[in-house]
């Protein structure tokens, strides 16, 4: 469970409490799908190593016997021998490639299987450059939205419905499943499952513009009771301000430019251009995994997002210090 992974994860990890973060790796599977993908990888590597050793061995043999006269090479006996070797090589190579192909198909089929239509369903939409997640429910009132962080219950398959708002993105949580593209105008699905609790990093795996590299997210897999508690909290509207500072902060949010892009449930802010911020204080990171979620980073992000993530849709905000502090105090209450 200790993080030894990519630099960005390490930086995030250095700033938030590090325990519980999983190394982002296809070789550290936490689900049946990811485990079968790793098995396929090891199988292909093993066969490739054998092929490599045989080829290099043959090459060395040829180098050792290279002093064969050209006349000798063209003799019928030599040609006959060369033909036999080529036929033998084909007889070995073609079945090996077929085994690779069939095994690959079998794994892909397993990864793409939809075991149960009644399972938890999350609609994930890719935006330049963040992830929107809507938790489906037969009761419309229970549907809620979050951004860049997906919570799932441990040990249960979860259906992820994929869509794109703009360009092609790709949903990939290496520890949990294979990757799948989000194609504009085309709906697709993927099943993820985590067999052990953990915080798994996911990222966009298809180049989608300037900030493709800063389009990551977290999958938080937790025991069913914890997950249910999280869902209940997310369904609640934002808490009311309890003092004059947080009340002023909410006013800054509602009357300033924040409300032209973001939603905070139960306030006048109801725009859907940017992430839903109803429970922003409960999230691990901000700006699609670009920064740990703390007051300093939030302040920097609000005032000057273009330095942190050049090209992002969020414009700079010139707020008076009092307004900024009130806004930060209010956002910190949105647990």
Residues that bind ligand CUA (CB under 6 A): 126, 129, 169, 204, 206-208, 212, 215
Burial of 57 (0-12, 13-18, 19+ CB in 10 A): exposed
Query: Are the C-beta atoms of residues 152 and 227 closer than 8 Å to each other?
Result: yes
- Least distance between ligand CUA and beta carbon 127 (Å): 8
- Give the alpha-carbon dihedral of 281, 264, 133, 324, to 10 degrees: -50
Residue 203 has phi, psi (to 5 degrees) of: -155, 160
Looking at the Cβ atoms of 147 and 334, the one nearer to ligand CUA is 147
- Specify the residue, 161 or 212, whose C-beta has the smaller distance to ligand CUA: 212
- Minimal CA–CA distance to 319: which of 270, 251, 272? 251
Name the minimum Å distance from CB 161 to ligand CUA.
17
Give the shortest CB-215-to-ligand CUA separation in angstroms. Answer: 4
d(C-alpha 271, C-alpha 285), whole Å: 21
- Does an H or E element contain 52, and which? helix 32-64
Q: How far apart are CA 182 and CA 277, in angstroms?
A: 23
Q: Nearest distance from residue 208's CB to ligand CUA, in Å? A: 3
| The two three-digit tokens of residue 126, written as one number | 């890719």
- Minimum Å gap between C-beta 334 and ligand CUA is 26
Find the shortest distance in angstroms from Cβ 133 to ligand CUA: 15
- Residue 149: CB minimum distance to ligand CUA, A: 16
Cis peptide before 19 (omega within 30 of 0): no
Helix (H) or strand (E) holding 166: none
b/e map 168-196, b = 16+ CB within 10 Å: ebbbbbbbbbbbbbbbeeeeeebbbbbbe
Q: Between residues 52 and 207, which has the closer beta carbon with respect to ligand CUA? A: 207
The smaller minimum CB distance to ligand CUA, of residues 206 and 222, is found at: 206
Kindly tell me which of 180 and 250 has the beta carbon lying closer to ligand CUA.
180
Residue 135 or residue 171: which is nearer to ligand CUA going by CB? 171
**Residue 129 vs 200, nearer CB to ligand CUA:** 129
């Amino acid at each position: 469970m200790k993080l030894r992974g990519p630099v960005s994860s390490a930086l995030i990890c250095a700033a938030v409490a590090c325990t519980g973060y999983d190394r982002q790796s296809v070789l550290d599977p936490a689900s049946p799908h990811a485990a079968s993908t790793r098995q396929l990888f090891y199988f292909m590597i093993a066969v490739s190593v054998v092929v490599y050793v045989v080829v290099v061995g043959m090459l060395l043999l040829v180098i050792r016997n290279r002093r064969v006269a050209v006349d000798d090479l063209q003799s019928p006996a030599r040609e006959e021998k060369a033909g036999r070797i080529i036929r033998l090589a084909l007889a070995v190579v073609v079945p090996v490639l077929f085994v690779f192909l069939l095994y690959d198909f079998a794994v892909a089929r397993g990864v793409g299987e939809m075991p149960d239509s009644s399972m938890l369903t999350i609609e994930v939409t890719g935006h330049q450059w963040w992830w929107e997640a809507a938790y489906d429910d037969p009761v419309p009132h229970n549907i809620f939205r979050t951004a860049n962080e997906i919570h799932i219950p441990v040990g249960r398959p979860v259906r992820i419905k994929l869509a794109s708002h703009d360009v092609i993105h790709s949903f990939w949580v290496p520890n949990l499943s294979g990757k799948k593209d989000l194609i504009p105008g085309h709906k697709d699905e993927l099943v993820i499952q985590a067999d052990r609790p953990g915080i798994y990093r996911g990222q966009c795996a298809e180049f989608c513009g300037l900030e493709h590299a800063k389009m990551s997210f977290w999958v938080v897999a937790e025991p069913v009771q914890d997950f249910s508690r999280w869902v209940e909290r997310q369904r609640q509207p934002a808490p009311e301000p309890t003092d004059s500072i947080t009340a002023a902060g909410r006013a800054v949010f509602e009357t300033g430019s924040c409300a032209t892009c973001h939603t905070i449930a139960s306030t006048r802010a109801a725009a859907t251009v940017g992430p839903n911020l109803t429970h922003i204080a409960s999230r691990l990171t901000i700006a699609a995994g670009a920064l740990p979620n703390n007051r300093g980073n939030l302040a920097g992000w609000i005032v000057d997002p273009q330095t942190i993530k050049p090209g992002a849709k969020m414009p700079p905000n010139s707020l008076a210090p009092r307004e900024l502090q009130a806004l930060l105090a209010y956002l910190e209450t949105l647990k």
